[in-house]
Amino acid sequence: MAGAAFFDLDKTLMQGSSGFQFAVAAREAGVISRRQLASDAVANVKYRLRGAGDAQAEELRHRIAAALEGIRVRDLDRLAVRVLQGILPRLYPQMLTIAYEHQDANRPVYIVTAAAQDLADVLARVLTFDGGLGSHLSEVENGLYTGRATGIFLYGEAKAVAIRELAASEGIDLADSYAYSDSASDLPMLRAVGHPVVVNPDAELLALAQEGGWEVLRLDRLGRKLMIAGALTVAAAASAVTVVVLKATGIQIELPRRDR
């Protein structure tokens, strides 16, 4: 049996939230309102700076499911390209290098995320990872989302359960495996493997990592940059068509288009 490497997505493989990139793409396609986009922008900034607790994650799960009510599965699938346009520029090159080094050492690499399973699958294919584990956020009937939250939400302990099930089916040695995450909410996943690694950890996770002697990776943190970019995104959600380049911070933000 050989080990594997498991990567959280938001704030670990990428800067910020994949959920917000989905919200932007959905707004541009007319799936959600400007108000919802602004709300998601604020939630994204809060999540990026403070992380999310169980209650906030569960609330987000039901909010996403409700927002999907009546939407065709096909229409949501067609958003994948726009969502990737938001995610790919925000990937940490250092994390991709680490992932590919694992593959070259004969360890399969997986994305493990609370984002939708479909997004996990698409990203895994684009990044040439070996697979992805994601959430099933809304019930589907006759090709339409019902708006009722259903299935597994890959958050907290559920990530560890999914990893163990994958290890059992694929013959993966978890004692020889690696897991990467930025948040204390992923402690079950980190503790499920023999080599936990924390990435830009929050205060709680950093303390636990230091106590356990875990490896700590520090990549480019957004911090104050994101606060500025988030404020601009919220303001622009109800107005202009443009691309704002924050030369002083190095962040490029694509803003929504004004209705004509």
Domain boundaries, the chain: 5-221
pLDDT at 260: 38
66 Ramachandran zone, left/alpha/beta (phi>0; psi -120 to 50): alpha
Question: Is residue 246 very low, low, confident or very high in pLDDT (cuts 50, 70, 90)?
Answer: very low
Structure tokens at 198: 């924390």
What does the mean pLDDT of the chain come to? Answer: 77
186 has pLDDT over 60: yes
Question: Residues 7, 159: contact at Cβ < 8 Å?
Answer: no
Out of 42-46, 79-83, 216-220, give the one with best mean pLDDT. Answer: 216-220
- Would you say residue 226 has pLDDT above 90? no
The residues assigned a catalytic role are: 8, 10
pLDDT classification of 81: cutoffs 50, 70, 90: confident
Please report which confidence band the pLDDT of residue 145 belongs to, taking 50, 70 and 90 as the band edges: confident
pLDDT score, position 32: 58
| pLDDT surpassing 70 at residue 167 | yes
The predicted structure's pLDDT at residue 36: 54
- Which pLDDT value is given to residue 70? 80
Express the helix, strand and coil content of the chain in percent, nearest 5 each.
50, 20, 35
Helices (H), 29-92: 34-50, 54-67, 73-77, 80-87
Superfamily per CATH, domain 5-221:
HAD superfamily/HAD-like (3.40.50.1000)
Lowest mean pLDDT among 43-52, 127-136, 222-231: 222-231
Can you tell me the mean pLDDT for 137-164?
85
Q: Give the per-residue pLDDT at 54.
A: 60
